[in-house]
Amino acid sequence: MRDYLPAVLVVVAFALHLAGERRATARTGRPRGRRARRRALAFYAGLLAILVALTGPIDALSGRLFWVQMIQRLLVLTVAAPLIAFSRPWISLWRPFPPWVRRPVAQAIARSPFWAPIRWLFRALAGPPGAWLAFSINLLFWHLPGPFDLALRDSWVHFLEYSSFLLFGIFFWTVVTGSSRAASRFSRERRIGYLGTAMVTNVGVSIFLAFAQHPLYAPYAGLARRPGGISALADQQIGAGVMWAAGDVPFAIVLALLVHQWLAAHEATMVRLGGLPPDATVLATGPPLDTPLAARPPRAVSLKTTAATGGQARRRDGCSEPPTTWPADYSL
Partner 1 sequence: MHGLVMIATTIIMLSAAFGNYFVPIMIGANDMAFPRLNALSFWTLFAAIPVLLSAVGLGGFPTGWTGYAPLADQAAVGMDAYCMTIVLFALSVAFSAVNIFVTVLTMRAPGLSLTRLPVFVWSVVLSTLLGLLVFPAFTAAVLLTLLDRCFGTSFYLASLGGNNFVYEQLFWFMGHPEVYVILLPAVGAICEVITVFARKPLWGYRLVVGAMIGIFVLSVTVWMHHLYWSGANTPLDTPIMLDTELISIPTGLIFFALLGTLWRGRIRFEPPMLFAIAFGVNFLIGGVTGLYLADVPTDTQFHGDMFVVAHFHFTLVGGVVFGFLAALYYWFPKMTGRQLDRRLGQWHFWLFEIGFLGVFIPLFYAGWEGEPRWQAFVAPQFATANLISSLFAIPIIASVAVLGYNILVSWRSGVPAEANQWGGRTLEWMLPSPVPLVNFDRPVVVLAGPYDYGMGGPRLMGQPVTAGAAVDAAPASSMHPAEASRADRARYGTLLLVLSWTMFGLAIYSAYIYLHALNTAGQFRPSSEHVPSTVGTVLITVAAVLGAAVWTWGRIGKRGADDPRVRIGVTAGWLITLAGLAGSLVIFATLNYPAPVNAFGSSMELFVFFHAWHLIIALVIGGMVLGRLYRGRLAGREYTIECVGYWLWYTAALAVVMAVLTLALS
Alpha carbon dihedral 292, 297, 302, 304, in 10-degree steps, equals -60
Shortest Å, Cβ 132 to partner 1: 16
Q: Which stretch binds partner 1 (CB under 8 A): 49-57, 98-106, 128-136, 261-269?
A: 261-269
Cβ contact 297:307 at 8 Å: no
**C-alpha to C-alpha distance for 194 and 254, rounded to whole angstroms:** 12
Is 270 a residue that touches partner 1 (CB under 8 A)? Answer: yes
Regarding 304 and contact with partner 1 (CB under 8 A), the answer is no
List 211, 295, 297, 328, residue binding partner 1 (CB under 8 A): 211
Per CB under 8 A, does 58 bind partner 1? no
Q: Between residues 41 and 249, which has the closer beta carbon with respect to partner 1?
A: 249
Question: Does residue 282 touch partner 1 according to CB under 8 A?
Answer: yes
Asked whether position 295 contacts partner 1 by CB under 8 A, the answer is no
Between CA 254 and CA 276 the distance in angstroms is 29
* Residue 331 to residue 234: CA distance in whole angstroms: 67
Q: Is 304 helix (H, G, I), strand (E, B) or coil?
A: strand
The residue within the footprint of partner 1, chosen from 260, 272, 304, 314 (CB under 8 A), is 260
Are 228 and 66 spatial neighbours (Cβ–Cβ below 8 Å)?
no
Stretch that binds partner 1, among 27-35, 54-62, 118-126, 279-287 (CB under 8 A): 279-287
Instruction: Identify the burial level of 167 via C-beta atoms within 10 angstroms of its C-beta, where 0-12 means exposed, 13-18 middle and 19 or more buried.
Output: middle
| CA-only gyration radius of the chain, Å | 27
190: Cα separation from own chain's centroid: 13
> Which of 18, 192 has the CB closer to partner 1?
192
Binding site for partner 1 (CB under 8 A): 196, 199, 203, 207-208, 210-213, 230, 234, 237-238, 240-242, 244-246, 248-249, 252, 255-256, 259-260, 263-264, 266-267, 269-270, 274-277, 280-284, 286, 289, 293, 299, 301, 303, 315, 317-324, 327, 329-332
